[in-house]
Chain A
Amino acid sequence: EPEVTQTPSHQVTQMGQEVILRCVPISNHLYFYWYRQILGQKVEFLVSFYNNEISEKSEIFDDQFSVERPDGSNFTLKIRSTKLEDSAMYFCASSEDFKGGSGQQPQHFGDGTRLSIL
């Protein structure tokens, strides 16, 4: 069964540095998402991406964050000038295009990247 893959599984970065988290969504999916989960807290939505642009973003997703689909397969999350509070598990997800009467297409998640800011 096709899977969403994320690299690296664990990233350790010095505070103030930039980090790029990478995701390869399922190949025929058209909606892409980033979520994060701070240790002990809820999984929180960051951003959704469709048709090469952001379709929705949360209050968390400020100017420090950006997303990009640099080619036909990768979907990246860049965090500039990282802070201690950016330490979290970051999940990428993807879903198929909306199919009208068939309703919401389920989101498929990757294993996550654990980001540790020192």
Chain B
Amino acid sequence: AQTVTQSQPEMSVQEAETVTLSCTYDTSESDYYLFWYKQPPSRQMILVIRQEAYKQQNATENRFSVNFQKAAKSFSLKISDSQLGDAAMYFCAFTPDQGGSEKLVFGKGTKLTVNP
């Protein structure tokens, strides 16, 4: 079974500081994709960043970067220079690479609070 675990139900960070959100997953697949989605209060989930498992280089998107450790099945999200607008639920998600769009398997989410 494919599972995604986010061990931090809640995190907080001071504005302009850096925070890391943890995610681990379990799969027997060798090719897959990992995602971080952000869900602001009462808003839709927005894709923040994605990582292809076959790529060794960690993905980055502006202030967002990941630390992908394939052997450890770990996929953490680092947010640098945190801004008030970063406050949201963050979901880690996994999907196998089976040649078409496939279902996402989500973690329970981490609620990030940004303190001014």
A residues whose Cβ falls under 8 Å from a Cβ of B: 3-4, 31, 33, 35, 41-45, 48, 50, 55-56, 58, 91, 95-98, 103-112
Contacts and interface: CB of A to CB of B under 8 A. Distances in A.
Secondary structure of the B contact surface, majority rule: loop
A6 to B, nearest CB: 9
A110 B44 contact: yes
Contacts of A50: 100-101
Interface of B: 33, 35, 37, 42-47, 50, 52, 91, 95, 97, 99-109
B61 to A, nearest CB: 12
B112 to A, nearest CB: 17
Contact of A48 (B44, B101, B108): B101
A109 B102 contact: no
Given A41-B108, A43-B91, A104 B44 contact: no
Nearest to B50: A106
Contacts of A112: 44
Nearest to A58: B103
